[in-house]
Amino acid sequence: MNADQTQTIQLNDTYLDILRHRQNGLCCSQILVKLVLKDMDRENPDLVRAMAALCYGSGHSDGTCGVLTGAACALSLFLENSHDKERAGSLLPLMLDELFGWFTVKAETSYGGSRCVEILAASPDKRACSLLLTDTLEKLTTMLASISNQ
């Protein structure tokens, strides 16, 4: 068991939001997009429902973790809302590379892979899912702040 698997979960507003959304039946990709929309002071129930296609590794646990695919969608959504759409469009591939690289290292180091089946094998209680959600939201916030300040 590595340090991430025993990491203390901070009972902050983000984590409590994650728990509330889980209790309401949302999966990781839906929760991530819902929280990013909240940070953007927006709501989009249709988008949140559509994100269900990315739940549990795109419908089965063999696929890429919904936290990562949800984060990629949220990043694209944020950039599409940018005032400078031309610049945002050119940033998306670079930022997706950064996000996928960061997530892959994080998930492989902590849980043995970035697919749901690998993460859940290391964390059957889904503790890893909450940790990955909070860590990925933090990473997205940092990434988005860096482009907002430019």
Q: What is the rounded average pLDDT for all residues in the chain?
A: 85
Residue owning tokens 């590595």? 2
Who contacts 124 (Cβ-Cβ below 8 Å, separation ≥6)? none
| Mean pLDDT, residues 108-123 | 91
Pairwise CA distance, residues 118 & 59, whole Å? 15
How confident is the model over 67-104, as pLDDT tens digits?
999 999 999 988 887 766 666 678 899 999 999 999 99
In angstroms, what CA-CA distances link 41 with 35, 81, 90? 10, 12, 25
User: What confidence category does residue 110 fall into, taking pLDDT thresholds of 50, 70 and 90?
Assistant: very high
Q: Which of 81, 76, 70, 64 is nearest to 31 (CA)?
A: 70
